[in-house]
Amino acid sequence: MRIMVLGTGGREHALSWKIAQSPLAEGVWASSAVADAEPGLRPMPDFPDAASCAAFCSAQSIDLVVIGPEAPLVAGWSDILRAAGLAVFGPDARGARLEGSKIAAKEFMRKYGIPTADFVVCRNLEEVRAHAGRFGTVPVVKYDGLAAGKGVAVPPTLDEAIAFAAEGFSRGGQTNLLLEERLAGPEISLLAITDGRRVHLLPPSQDHKRLGEGDLGPNTGGMGAYTPVPGCDPARLAELERIVFEPFLAGVAAEGFDYRGLIYAGLMLTEAGPSVLEFNCRFGDPETQPLMCALDGDILPLLWSAAIGKLAARGMDTLASLCVVLAAPGYPAKPLTGDGITGLEEARLMSGVKVFHAGTRLEGNLNDGGRFITRGGRVLGVTGVGESLQEAAAAAYAAVEKIHFPGMQYRRDIGARALSPQE
């Protein structure tokens, strides 16, 4: 089977790496940024549109396209590639709108009985001011459209909530936004592969959104993640499948979405029960990195069977895995790039470690004095794997100590809640 993975980040590196291990994979095509970082992958050009991607797939006899990022999904690339006769892992544009519009997602949840926080839609700053106090606490503010994981604020004061909303309307290009009731409880990410009728749940994971340790600082695209999550036993997962994924699929069927791909449910486990914070239409980043390391088996049959509408669920053994994101200085506001990275080879040779490239570029040839330099805000996902989270964390952080670039930022407390639950 010949597979293409669209996207240039750590998520796509992890997916390409995992798919390439399958005995069914004859070849895996990835972006040049990913292929440069992973020997054995076949580089492909950047595509300006879905039509040029479809033409390349035809010329290379690609069997399956796995779409990594949300933007091409929201833009309808799945629809165009399927119309060209390709098997695609990724929902159609209507299904992807559940990530592309937070308002659409909340209305979908309300319509199909999926538990979620109370909310109000605001079309201008005057409406924000009018509704900011309606929940009795400072609301969560969410931009409606895609914002690379940075369109949500959990501000400490009403003034800051209104200021974040004003920023969205004035410079963020938002025409609508949400004010949402603030909930309390641990968050988990639960991802499921689906053919639109059935789901195969992947192990639950936990992301770390804030830049700083102790969950301080601004929101980011994610500074690290780990799996498994303590307390998410089979009974809890069965409950979440029943109250979240079953009504989701009922809604997909009722709305007529062609949803063959990934359902990502961002959940908060409150005292009153689970509540969905968001739906995403693709694999999470950085959750994918530890998930791909933790799954001890072949993921390609799952992706293929979902893409052709005949999901064949299969059990896989799982390990523990933990990913630490190394970010450029200035991230998330204005990352500084172009710096050389050292220590990658030392980290690569360590047992129980995989380093995924999220924002790097190869300068020159590695066999002739070339080097990787930083090209994005989130640069690397240093991922450890082991029989326990303690082993995985120790491996990941030992590898982090080997790697350096100027101004490197990372959190030293990824997985701390799971590793020290008594605290």
- With beta carbons less than 8 A apart as the criterion, state whether 279 and 248 touch: yes
Determine the Cα–Cα distance for residues 297 and 30; give it in Å rounded to an integer. Answer: 21
What distance separates the 2 farthest-apart alpha carbons in the chain?
Answer: 63
Report long-range pairs for 102-107 (Cβ below 8 Å, ≥24 apart). 102/142, 102/143, 102/144, 102/145, 102/151, 102/178, 102/278, 103/144, 103/176, 103/178, 105/278, 105/279, 106/178, 106/180
pLDDT digits (tens, 9 = 90+) for 186-242: 999 999 999 999 999 999 999 999 999 999 998 899 999 999 999 999 999 999 999
According to the model, what pLDDT value does residue 423 have? 41
- With beta carbons less than 8 A apart as the criterion, state whether 138 and 182 touch: yes
Determine the Cα–Cα distance for residues 9 and 34; give it in Å rounded to an integer. Answer: 7
Q: Of 236, 208, 205, 215, which Cα lies nearest the Cα of 156?
A: 215
Let me know the angle formed at the C-alpha of 236 by 108 and 248, rounded to the nearest 5 degrees: 20
- Answer whether 0.85 is exceeded by the pTM: yes
According to the model, what pLDDT value does residue 115 have? 98
| Domains observed in the chain | 2-91 (3.40.50.20), 120-180 (3.30.1490.20)
Single-letter code of the amino acid located at 365: N
Q: Which residue has the tokens 């119309």?
A: 83
Determine the Cα–Cα distance for residues 123 and 374; give it in Å rounded to an integer. Answer: 39
Backbone angles phi, psi at 208, to 5 degrees: -125, 100
Determine the Cα–Cα distance for residues 261 and 283; give it in Å rounded to an integer. Answer: 9
Determine the Cα–Cα distance for residues 65 and 81; give it in Å rounded to an integer. Answer: 8
- With beta carbons less than 8 A apart as the criterion, state whether 194 and 241 touch: no
Backbone angles phi, psi at 300, to 5 degrees: -60, -45
Six-digit token string for 231: 């307390």
Q: Of 61, 56, 90, 58, which Cα lies nearest the Cα of 2?
A: 61
Q: Which residue has the tokens 């499921």?
A: 192
Q: How far is CA 398 from CA 161, 290, 348, in A?
A: 39, 16, 11
- Angle at which helices 93-100 and 102-111 cross, to 10°: 100
Question: What count of Cα atoms within 13 Å lies in the side-chain half-sphere of residue 126?
Answer: 0
According to the model, what pLDDT value does residue 146 have? 85
pLDDT digits (tens, 9 = 90+) for 360-396: 999 998 888 899 999 999 999 999 999 999 999 999 9
| 254 class by beta-carbon count within 10 Å (0-12 exposed, 13-18 middle, 19+ buried) | exposed
Q: pLDDT 10s digit of each residue in the chain, 423 long?
A: 999 999 999 999 999 999 999 999 999 999 999 999 999 999 999 999 999 999 999 999 999 999 999 999 999 999 999 999 999 999 999 999 999 999 999 999 999 999 999 999 999 999 999 999 999 999 999 999 887 767 899 999 999 999 999 999 987 778 899 999 999 999 999 999 999 999 999 999 999 999 999 999 988 999 999 999 999 999 999 999 999 999 999 999 999 999 999 999 999 999 999 999 999 999 999 999 999 999 999 999 999 999 999 999 878 899 999 999 999 999 999 999 999 999 999 999 999 999 999 999 999 988 888 999 999 999 999 999 999 999 999 999 999 999 999 999 999 999 999 998 644
